[in-house]
């Protein structure tokens, strides 16, 4: 039977800590929602009751909203959301009809007007160091979206911003009926930025086992240099499929951020829209949006980061050396015939083991700063 003394066992544990230190990382438990510290905006709608109208004020003449319906009603609701295209019949409600994480999500219904568009947006302030913004959202839609009267209806997800003469858009077009996903850019992209990709409906009648589909859309854009950096839907990299690593954001003339020679602050605008095809409008189609997170992913290395990184390296090196001394002292102690000298060497090994263990814990903490 092989036995390991306590000092040797402690030394082995400490050495193991340093060997596995690079792969130790923190993780969040299942169903635990923790937003990162660089979050600019997050919404899972779970603080709302089902039925809340996120277009609150529509058609009422309150909150600065026009008293009549129709397209291009520039308006804002009580809940922080606004809109531009307000096609008759559309709505954006908090609903328990469907959700990704439960119990509710935002449900959007299409306009009942042929060719109508209905959208909702949220304005997000940024800091003066923010240059790269990422949007993550989960989306589902009903089967009628792709095969209803007219079919081939279109959904959009976008990150938008301005300078003092143009409005820029990182926009993803999803058209399930034609099995296409597209980005809009002035760059000469293959197939005008479109790829062939089927996106399944939540209640897709073509499916047998693959039902209940939600889709994860992730868009990252450089809002300073006005470029797409990443567009991913589920496990498909759209830019990669187009053979590019980035593309220019689309733009249109818009000087609203500069009025009478005096500038406004420039925000980020997140928008979700539903666009009927020319033969649509005979029946509403629906989509759901949930677990929206917008983050500032600008990379700005700081002196503090570099200092912590160098300190982590130094502490890890010292701990490794002390671990070696611990093991060496343990071996020498058991080779010592004199009991008193053996105890002294074992005490030295224990002291070094405790020191190495302390440094290991300190190094783990520093590695997560």
Instruction: Evaluate the CA torsion angle 124, 128, 129, 131 in order and state its sign.
Output: positive
* E-state strands within 37-102: 39-43, 75-76, 81-83, 91-95
What is the model's pLDDT at position 57?
A: 58
> Given this model, what pLDDT does residue 36 score?
85
Structure confidence at residue 309 (pLDDT)? 60
Angle at 128 between CA 122 and CA 134, to 5 degrees: 45
Sign of CA dihedral 117, 52, 137, 369: positive
How many whole angstroms separate alpha carbon 218 and alpha carbon 226?
A: 17
Nearest CA-CA partner of 133 in 294, 249, 250: 294
Structural tokens at position 184: 């809009």
Average pLDDT over the chain, rounded to an integer: 81
Question: Tokens 């169903």 — which residue?
Answer: 31
DSSP character for 183? E
Helix axes 303-335, 339-367, angle to 10 degrees: 160
Handedness of CA 164, 165, 170, 174 (dihedral sign): positive
β 268-275/117-124 pair status: antiparallel
Nearest to 224 by CA among 363, 97, 127, 136: 127
Residue 303: both structure tokens together: 């002196």
Is it true that the peptide bond before 103 is cis, omega within 30 degrees of 0? yes
The whole-angstrom distance between residue 139's C-alpha and the CA centroid of its chain comes to 13
Residues of the chain with pLDDT under 70: 1-33, 57-74, 148-151, 278-282, 300-317, 319-320, 322-326, 328-331, 333-334, 349, 352-353, 355-356, 359-360, 362-369
Give the separation between CA 37 and CA 256, rounded to whole angstroms: 31
CA-closest candidate to residue 150, choices 60, 276, 24: 276
- CA–CA separation, 157 and 182 (whole Å): 11
pLDDT at residue 71 in the model = 45
d(CA 297, CA 318): 34
* CA 31 – CA 186 distance, rounded (Å): 41
pLDDT in tens, 166-187: 999 999 999 999 999 999 999 9
User: What is the Cα gyration radius of the chain?
Assistant: 29
The first and second tokens of residue 194, run together, are: 């479109």
Report residue 149 as tokens: 């009267």
pLDDT given at position 342 = 73
Q: Give the other-Cβ count within 10 Å of 121's Cβ.
A: 18
- Give the SS3 label for residue 154: strand
* CA 69 vs CA 72, 88, 93, 273: distances in Å: 9, 6, 17, 17
pLDDT attached to residue 72: 45
Cα–Cα distance between 367 and 369 in angstroms, integer? 6
Helices (H), 218-273: 238-242
What pLDDT is recorded for position 368? Answer: 56
CATH topology of domain 39-296: Jelly Rolls (2.60.120)
């Amino acid at each position: 039977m092989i036995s390991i003394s306590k000092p040797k066992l402690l030394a082995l544990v400490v050495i193991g800590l340093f060997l596995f230190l690079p792969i130790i990382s923190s993780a969040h438990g299942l169903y635990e929602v923790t937003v990162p510290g660089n979050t600019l905006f997050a919404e899972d709608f779970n603080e709302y009751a089902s039925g809340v109208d996120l277009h609150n004020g529509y058609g009422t003449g309150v909150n600065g909203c026009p008293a009549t319906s129709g397209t291009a009603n520039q308006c804002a609701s009580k809940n922080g959301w606004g809109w531009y295209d307000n096609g008759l019949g559309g709505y954006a409600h908090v609903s328990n009809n469907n959700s990704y994480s439960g119990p509710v999500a935002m449900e959007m219904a299409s306009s009942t007007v042929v060719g109508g568009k209905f959208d909702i947006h949220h304005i997000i302030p940024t800091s003066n160091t923010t240059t790269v913004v990422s949007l993550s959202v989960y989306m589902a839609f009903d089967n009628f979206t792709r095969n209803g009267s007219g079919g081939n209806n279109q959904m959009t997800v976008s990150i938008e911003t301005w300078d003092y003469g143009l409005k820029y858009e990182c926009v993803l077009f999803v058209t399930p009926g034609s099995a296409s996903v597209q980005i809009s850019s002035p760059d000469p992209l293959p197939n005008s930025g479109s790829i062939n990709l089927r996106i399944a409906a939540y209640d897709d009648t073509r499916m047998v086992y693959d039902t209940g589909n939600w889709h994860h859309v992730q868009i990252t854009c450089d809002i300073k240099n006005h470029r797409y950096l990443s567009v991913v839907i589920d496990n498909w990299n759209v830019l990669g499929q187009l053979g590019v690593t980035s593309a220019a954001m689309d733009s249109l003339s818009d000087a609203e951020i500069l009025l009478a020679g005096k500038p406004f602050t420039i925000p980020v605008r997140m928008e979700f829209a539903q666009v009927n095809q020319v033969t649509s409008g005979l029946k509403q189609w629906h989509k759901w949006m949930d677990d929206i997170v917008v983050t500032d992913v600008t990379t700005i290395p700081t002196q503090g980061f570099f200092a912590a990184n160098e300190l982590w390296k130094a502490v890890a090196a010292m701990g490794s050396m002390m671990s070696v001394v611990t093991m060496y002292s343990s071996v020498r102690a058991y080779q010592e015939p004199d009991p008193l000298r053996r105890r002294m060497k074992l005490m030295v090994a224990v002291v070094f083991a405790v020191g190495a263990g302390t440094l290991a814990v300190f190094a783990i903490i520093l590695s997560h700063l």
